[in-house]
Copies of this chain bind each other. A is one copy, B any other.
Amino acid sequence: MRALQSYLPVFSWIGQYSRQALSRDLLAAAIVTIMLIPQSLAYALLAGLPAQVGLYASIVPLAVYALFGTSRTLSVGPVAVASLMSATALGEVAAQGTTDYLLAAAVLATLSGAFLALLGILRLGFLANFLSHPVISGFITASGLLIAFSQLKHLFGVSAGGHNLPQIIGSLVSHLHHINVYALVTGSAVIAFLYWSRGGAGRLLQRLSVPAHTAGLLSKAAPVVGVIATIIVAIAFNFEGKQVALVGAIPSGLPSLHLPHFSWDLVRALTVPAIMISIIGYVESVSVGKTLAAKRRQKIDVNQELIGLGAANIGSGLSGAFPVTGGFSRSVVNFDAGAETQLASVFTAVGIALASVFLTPFLYYLPKATLAATIVVAVLSLVDFSILRKTWRFSKSDFLAVTITIAVTLLFGVEAGVSCGVAASIALFLYRTSRPHIAEVGLVEGTEHFRNVKRHEVVTDPQILTIRVDESLMFSNAGYLEDRVYGDLAANRRVKHVILMCSAINEIDWSALEVLEAINERLAEQGMQLHLSEVKGPVMDRLQSTGFLQHLSGKVYLSQYRAFVDNRSTDTAQTVAA
């Protein structure tokens, strides 16, 4: 039973499911369904896919995640950034509007799901940690901007393209003389209405005696109000005759489940984008899941989450849809509306299924500008350049990573942006650990403490060089230590004893061991001894597994004080002023 619960977390709560939880889940599902319909349509548009595909991506994946996922309240489905990344990837292999494009989308979702599930089965969830937070913030901010700009074509009613800012702006400018005033007015009005709904609608409802919490939830239905209103306007003003882009005919019904018919060439072309979309989607989703779980003192399992999201994406691929993940705004609404378990998501899936059977005929007249407007308002809330200011004050290397990510994403597109961001994070991390803080230390008189000779008034001995390394010794910094020791020795030719104070060394690798051996040998050739002090247990264990300690010219001391006193030449001791 325990094993079953760990692979199908649904069994950990379904046994204790109460009537009260049912009513709360049903309410949450109703609200999320209303919110999800326009979102699904809009993100399908963003991914360059027909509107019904957005609905398909919001049925099976939700039910599958409910079975395999560990978050009780995460709401899975299409999200903005993954949709933009999908559009970029699919644009490389097929033209929008073709069946090849639809097929590629399903293959992309399936690959992405398979990759996530594989990571989960191999318990490699920790890999997601290598996206540093500033890089993610920068990437989401830049993607939000890119998405907003990419929607301007729908707002202006022109056909333009591009996968990065210069392309998008260039293409827009060259099409600007074809601007469609009806589309522009509709879109602008929806944007204005949505911004107003965030504050004004809540206040209005409260004045009508609706309780604050309910008013807040009701205001999330604003996009649906916008959809209905603009459908009516489009019919009344005959938008169809005025060349306003409409959603058009959508087949009614449910997606048929089948494995997409793929070629290996397609798989090869989509593998790298699928991995990137998976990782970004996973990181986004897990951070939402963790936040919500912690609020109710629940826990999520990062590796099982990979399996849950992987299964959801495979479900999306089998439905002929595109990559999905846990969405932030949607999950928060689900949580605030009182969802207790993943049954809320199952009910939401039923709601979306009903919509795709019965509501699709009504969407014929929906202007694309309305969907573009809901996207713009949603993604602009993701844009937050304050990370630049914050990291600038905190650490220049974090600042550099985020700046590179934002600049590359805007100028070269999402894939280049993520890649450079990850590479920059890792490179800066390695750079930092490659130049650890190394201090020459001396004895604080009257104590057994040792401090940096540059900062404190301490006692040193001209025949003893004591060096403290404030970092684990690894291949990335072993050469730096070697240079430092030889440099110090070249500057002070009276030294007879070199003591390496190891109190901050948590780990040592083979490269560092070789450097220590080289230093030991070099010192011995010149009649000097190398001592170690305050070596931590695990490091000592590791050194003992080699012949290093047998060849060590000096000794290993438990305390630095002992090491200093034992090797001190009392007649030559001197005090160094800071």
Which residues on the B side are within 8 Å of A477 (C-beta)?
Answer: 129
Q: How far is the CB of A295 from chain B (nearest CB, A)?
A: 7
Copies of this chain: 2
A472 contacts B475, C-beta separation under 8 Å: no
In the assembled complex, A196 has its CB within 8 A of some CB on chain B: no
- 0/1 interface trace, chain A 280-319, chain B, CB 8 Å (1 if under): 0000000000110011010100100000000000000000
B395 contacts A294, C-beta separation under 8 Å: no
* Also in contact, A429 and B475, with CB within 8 A (given A126-B480, A437-B538, A470-B506): yes
A504 contacts B504, C-beta separation under 8 Å: yes
Which residues on the B side are within 8 Å of A526 (C-beta)?
Answer: 297
Please report which residues of chain A, range 129-174, place their CB below 8 angstroms from some CB of chain B when the two chains form the complex.
129-134
In the assembled complex, A394 has its CB within 8 A of some CB on chain B: yes
- 0/1 interface trace, chain A 407-434, chain B, CB 8 Å (1 if under): 0000000000000000001100111111
In the assembled complex, A513 has its CB within 8 A of some CB on chain B: yes
- 0/1 interface trace, chain A 116-135, chain B, CB 8 Å (1 if under): 00000000001011111110
B514 contacts A133, C-beta separation under 8 Å: yes
A506 contacts B437, C-beta separation under 8 Å: yes
Interface size class of A (residues with CB under 8 A): 35 or more
Which residues on the B side are within 8 Å of A25 (C-beta)?
Answer: none
Of all chain B residues, the one with the shortest Cβ separation from A489 is B297
A578-B499 Cα distance, complex, nearest whole Å: 33
A435 contacts B510, C-beta separation under 8 Å: no
Which residues on the B side are within 8 Å of A470 (C-beta)?
Answer: 506, 536
Q: How far is the CB of A432 from chain B (nearest CB, A)?
A: 7
B434 contacts A126, C-beta separation under 8 Å: yes
Chain A interface SS verdict (over half): helix
Which residues on the B side are within 8 Å of A525 (C-beta)?
Answer: 295
A476 contacts B437, C-beta separation under 8 Å: no
In the assembled complex, A487 has its CB within 8 A of some CB on chain B: yes
In the assembled complex, A209 has its CB within 8 A of some CB on chain B: no
B510 contacts A299, C-beta separation under 8 Å: no
In the assembled complex, A246 has its CB within 8 A of some CB on chain B: no
B132 contacts A475, C-beta separation under 8 Å: yes
A472 contacts B471, C-beta separation under 8 Å: yes
Which residues on the B side are within 8 Å of A507 (C-beta)?
Answer: 432, 471
Q: How far is the CB of A231 from chain B (nearest CB, A)?
A: 42
Which residues on the B side are within 8 Å of A518 (C-beta)?
Answer: 291, 294
A425-B426 Cα distance, complex, nearest whole Å: 12
B398 contacts A476, C-beta separation under 8 Å: no
In the assembled complex, A236 has its CB within 8 A of some CB on chain B: no
Q: How far is the CB of A421 from chain B (nearest CB, A)?
A: 11
* Also in contact, A487 and B299, with CB within 8 A (given A132-B475, A475-B132, A509-B395): yes
- What are 9 residue pairs bridging A and B, where the CB atoms are less than 8 Å apart in the complex? A129-B479, A130-B476, A131-B475, A132-B509, A132-B511, A299-B490, A391-B510, A426-B430, A471-B506
Instruction: List 14 other contacts, CB 8 Å, given A294-B486, A395-B509, A425-B475.
Output: A126-B479, A129-B476, A132-B510, A132-B511, A133-B510, A134-B510, A295-B525, A299-B486, A394-B513, A394-B545, A397-B509, A398-B509, A429-B474, A432-B507
